[in-house]
């Protein structure tokens, strides 16, 4: 197998790489518990938690660095008020659109009964809460809908597939996260062009009809550190989320080159980005089109373990490895694509036997005359970790013109094992 393919792509010589350091905005918040305590003193938000109440606390499908600390604090807070906390899986159709699958996702982040000190509720049953003014049904997790109080916890950040005054955040956690598969599908059916307004409208219905006590908004810096925590009262959700989204957009990085030939991504995953690899970073989205760094080809080498086989975003690659293909779980991936009306993101690209052949394939299918020119290649771990990455020599001049980039080492050659997968790096010119 692959004999002819290896012969064809093997003509491409993978060039040496240079390690680059990227000076990204660093805003790590120290003292998570202390900051949350200050926020509750500022807002008086806990006054609505009454003794004996059942209180639902949302937990989503994204990997948020300090989520276990934040959730534990909230669980303890609810208990101190004499109420009964429950963590509720709020992730739309993720986790294969099953209660057990969503529980598994939470467990992978360390969110389980043993660590949280309260029950974890992960079901797919919903309750019809009401309708928007435009007649759109609004559904909500049945257990949460029957609780005496609801706490919405979510990260505010730019969305991968739609733009607007409200994108990923508390409103989306309400409308789509707590809406489960049924609510998420209804919202997506109306199209991404109207997603921001529909998410806001659906969230308003829940806020009017159900006892949402407060929200905890999380902002992260470019290093995936918690940069800001804010407790928000229900009547302030929409206004504050709009402001926080503007701030969040100043914190995300992008690949700092105007035009590249190839982007190599070690791993994608739903825990990394809802789109597997964030289009705000890669510049490629079936919904938003193509933008900087205008990569002509994208090679994806793997799906990270934390994604539990969800391979959403693989369709945005031109080539993947056999390892990535084998990790692709159809039952974990397709329900989300069906729910979000996004078949493009799960289309399977060309499959190569190893990392070496995947990169060589990407080089082989570049357009234009490349005689005597080293392709402009950027090699990253994933779209959450850009503080260190590799580039080829042809990008060094542009690197030197940026005040935020520094060459840390190189040239280095990638070393491959007998199956063609990367096993390390060596200084260029040295024997293996």
Residues 6 or more apart in contact with residue 25 via CB below 8 angstroms: 221, 222, 250, 251, 253
8 A C-beta contact, residue 180 and residue 124: yes
Maximum Cα–Cα distance across the chain: 74
pLDDT of 430 > 80? The answer is: no
Tokens of 193: 């062009």
- Asked if 65 and 304 count as a contact pair (C-beta separation under 8 A), the reply is no
For the four alpha carbons of 158, 162, 165 and 171, in that order, the dihedral sign comes to negative
- The DSSP result for 256-306, as a single string, is S-S--SEEEES-B-TTT-TTSS-HHHH-EETTTEE-TT--SEEEE--B-GG
pLDDT digits 0-9 by tens, 127-163: 999 999 989 999 999 999 999 999 999 999 988 778 8
User: Is the CB of residue 342 less than 8 Å from the CB of residue 316?
Assistant: no
Confidence of residue 93 (pLDDT cuts 50, 70, 90): confident
Residue-wise pLDDT for 337-390, tens only, equals 888 888 999 999 999 999 999 999 999 999 987 777 899 999 999 998 999 999
Tell me which of 152-156, 158-162, 248-252, 395-399 is least confident: 158-162
Contact 203, 43 (CB under 8 A): no
- In sequence order, the β-bridge partners of residue 5 are none
Q: Report how far residue 365's alpha carbon sits from residue 139's, in angstroms, rounded to the nearest whole number.
A: 46
> Strand 84-89 vs strand 120-121: parallel, antiparallel, or unpaired?
parallel
Alpha helices in 275-350 (DSSP H): 279-282, 322-327, 330-339
Q: Alpha-carbon distance 358 to 9, whole Å?
A: 9
Of 93, 92, 110, the C-alpha closest to 331 is 93
Q: Is residue 432 pLDDT above 80, yes or no?
A: no
Indicate the range of 113-127, 182-196, 237-251 predicted with least confidence: 182-196
Element (H, E) at 379: strand 377-380
Asked if the model's pLDDT at residue 246 lies above 50, the reply is: yes
- DSSP letter at 157 equals B
CB 306 within 8 A of CB 269: yes
Q: Is the pLDDT of residue 24 over 90?
A: no
276: its two tokens: 């597997």
Contacts of 3 (CB under 8 A, 6+ apart): none
pLDDT in tens, 44-92: 999 999 999 999 999 998 889 999 999 999 999 999 999 999 999 999 8
Residues in the chain: 432
- Residue 293: is the preceding peptide bond cis (ω within 30°)? yes
Please give the torsion angle defined by the CA atoms of residues 153, 80, 145 and 206, in that order, rounded to the nearest 10 degrees: -50
What tokens were used for 246? 């503007």
Cβ(151)–Cβ(79) below 8 Å: no
Alpha carbon 177 to chain centroid distance?
14
Residue-level pLDDT at 431: 42
Q: What is the mean pLDDT of the chain?
A: 93
Instruction: Quote the percentage of the chain above a pLDDT of 90.
Output: 76
What is the rounded average pLDDT of the residues 167-182?
Answer: 93
pLDDT at 429: 63
Q: Percent of the chain having pLDDT more than 70?
A: 99
pLDDT of residue 56: 98
Those residues whose C-beta lies under 8 Å from the C-beta of residue 258, and which sit 6 or more positions away, are 292, 293, 294, 398
| Rounded CA separation 423/81 (Å) | 53
Judge contact between 109 and 72, C-beta under 8 A: no
pLDDT reading at 286 higher than 80: no
Among 42-46, 241-245, 336-340, where is mean pLDDT lowest? 336-340
Cβ contact 200:166 at 8 Å: yes
Q: Given a cut of 90, is residue 199 above it in pLDDT? A: yes
- Residue pair 144/91 in contact (Cβ under 8 Å)? The answer is no
Q: How far is residue 53's CA from residue 348's CA, in Å, rounded to a whole number?
A: 48
How far is it, in rounded angstroms, from Cα 329 to Cα 311? 7
CA dist., res. 407 & res. 385, Å (int): 17
Residue 165 Cα to chain centre, angstroms: 19
């Amino acid at each position: 197998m692959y004999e002819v393919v290896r012969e064809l792509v093997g003509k491409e010589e993978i060039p040496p790489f240079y390690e680059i350091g990227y000076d990204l905005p660093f805003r790590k918040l120290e003292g998570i518990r202390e900051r949350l305590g200050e926020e509750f003193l500022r807002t008086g938000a806990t006054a609505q938690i009454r003794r004996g109440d059942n209180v639902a606390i949302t937990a989503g499908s994204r990997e948020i660095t300090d989520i276990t600390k934040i959730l534990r604090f909230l669980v303890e807070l609810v208990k101190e008020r004499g109420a009964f906390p429950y963590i509720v899986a709020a992730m739309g159709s993720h986790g294969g659109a099953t209660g057990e699958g969503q529980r598994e996702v939470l467990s992978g982040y360390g969110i389980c009964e043993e660590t949280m000190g309260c029950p974890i509720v992960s079901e797919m049953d919903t309750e019809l809460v009401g309708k928007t003014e435009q007649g759109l049904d609004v559904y909500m997790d049945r257990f949460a809908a029957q609780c005496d109080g609801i706490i919405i916890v979510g990260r505010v950040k730019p969305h991968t597939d739609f733009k607007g005054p409200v994108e990923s955040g508390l409103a989306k956690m309400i409308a789509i996260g707590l809406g489960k598969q049924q609510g998420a599908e209804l919202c997506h059916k109306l199209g991404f062009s109207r997603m921001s307004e529909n998410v806001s409208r659906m969230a308003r219905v829940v806020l009017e009809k159900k006892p949402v006590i407060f929200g905890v908004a999380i902002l992260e810096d470019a290093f995936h550190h918690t940069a800001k925590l804010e407790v928000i009262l229900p009547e302030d959700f929409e206004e504050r989320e709009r402001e926080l989204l503007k701030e969040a957009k100043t914190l995300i990085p992008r690949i700092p080159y105007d035009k590249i030939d190839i982007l190599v991504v070690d791993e994608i995953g739903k825990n990394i980005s809802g789109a597997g690899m964030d289009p705000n970073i890669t510049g490629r989205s079936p919904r938003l089109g193509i933008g900087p760094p205008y990569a002509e080809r994208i090679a994806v080498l793997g799906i990270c373990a934390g994604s539990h086989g969800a391979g959403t975003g693989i369709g945005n690659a031109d080539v993947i490895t056999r390892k990535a293909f084998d990790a692709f779980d159809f039952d974990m991936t397709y329900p989300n694509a069906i729910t979000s009306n996004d078949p493009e993101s799960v289309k399977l690209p060309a499959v190569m036997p190893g990392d070496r052949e995947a990169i060589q394939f990407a080089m082989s299918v570049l357009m234009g005359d490349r005689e005597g020119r080293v392709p402009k290649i950027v090699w990253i771990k994933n779209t959450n970790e850009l503080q260190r990455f590799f580039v080829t020599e042809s990008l060094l001049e542009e690197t030197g013109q940026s005040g935020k980039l520094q060459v840390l080492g190189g040239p280095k050659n990638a070393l491959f094992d007998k199956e063609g997968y990367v096993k390390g790096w060596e200084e260029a010119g040295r024997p293996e």
